[in-house]
Amino acid sequence: MPISTPPALLEVDDITMAFGGIVAVESLSFSVREGEILALMGPNGAGKTTTFHVIAGVHTPTKGKIRFNGQDITTLRPDGRCRAGVARTFQITQPFHELTVEENVMVGALAFHRRMADARTDARRFVEMVGLGDRAQVPAKGLSTGQRKRLEMARAMATRPKLLLLDEVTGGVDQKSLPGIVNLVKQLREDGLTLVVIEHNMGVINELADRAIFMNRGVRMAEGTPEEIAKHPEVVELYLGEGGEDG
């Protein structure tokens, strides 16, 4: 019997996003299947974050369509997309500094629950899930970078998404904390989530992603498995340029 391919959960169809004369993303198309992890990579200014903004509803694209779970969400506002099942984290984490870790996650949980008590119960569960149980009552301003990234994930997960967009979730995280974050992302996928991750760390991409898209100047330059993408000349140049020892 043939093995059926899971349906596309997200379809980005010929998206262009222009800001006046600046074309941040140009004629970009890709789809993400249920349960898949797709990595978006590329140098600064490639259009990765703008792509996230368009998927999450921060920007309405100049051209093209976004379909999610069979529904055209191109003009849906961010809160509508959140209810539809799209959640995201930010490159620069923006917790409410004076609120505790648990209260920050309650902000996400309140997208799902009306009663504060239910939101708190749920928030506790997600705080535990991301490994911040012992920091639950600490103000968010006291967290390390890695802990803040975990908090962002908990807050996003508390909205009960089907699709999670992670913007550089390993960025600025020290080497010691990195495997924990990677394992957490793996666990989310095992729990049934579909993920798109903006990621610069090739080792992390290799470990996590089923597929990767390399963007530059708003355009998709290459798409394939992490192994295939790693051989692309611009990827080789970019990563040797950034990480090469001899320069």
Ligand X SMILES: Nc1ncnc2c1ncn2[C@@H]1O[C@H](COP(=O)(O)OP(=O)(O)OP(=O)(O)O)[C@@H](O)[C@H]1O
Residue with tokens 């008590």: 117
Residue selected from 9, 15, 39, 48 as contacting ligand X according to rule CB under 6 A: 48
Interface with ligand X includes 220 (CB under 6 A)? no
Interface with ligand X includes 46 (CB under 6 A)? yes
How far apart are the C-alpha atoms of 128 and 122, rounded to whole Å? 10
A 10 A CB-CB count for 144 gives 13
Residue selected from 28, 38, 49, 95 as contacting ligand X according to rule CB under 6 A: 49
Q: Which string of x and - marks every residue 156-195 that binds ligand X (by CB under 6 A)?
A: ----------------------------------------
Interface with ligand X includes 27 (CB under 6 A)? no
Long-range contacts of 234-241 (CB under 8 A, 24+ apart): 235/41, 238/43, 239/202
Applying CB under 6 A, the span of 18-26, 105-113, 145-153, 236-244 interacting with ligand X comes to 18-26
Contact 99, 140 (CB under 8 A): yes
Nearer to ligand X, 74 or 216 (CB): 216
Contact 24, 54 (CB under 8 A): no
Nearer to ligand X, 48 or 81 (CB): 48
- Reference 26, options 40, 42, 39, 15; nearest CA is 15
Residue selected from 6, 7, 14, 22 as contacting ligand X according to rule CB under 6 A: 22
Interface with ligand X includes 21 (CB under 6 A)? no
Nearer to ligand X, 86 or 238 (CB): 238
Applying CB under 6 A, the span of 16-24, 131-139, 203-211, 219-227 interacting with ligand X comes to 16-24
Interface with ligand X includes 149 (CB under 6 A)? no
Q: Which string of x and - marks every residue 50-69 that binds ligand X (by CB under 6 A)?
A: x-------------------
Nearer to ligand X, 19 or 96 (CB): 19
Residue selected from 26, 37, 42, 85 as contacting ligand X according to rule CB under 6 A: 42
The binding site for ligand X (CB under 6 A) comprises: 19, 22, 24, 42, 44-50, 91
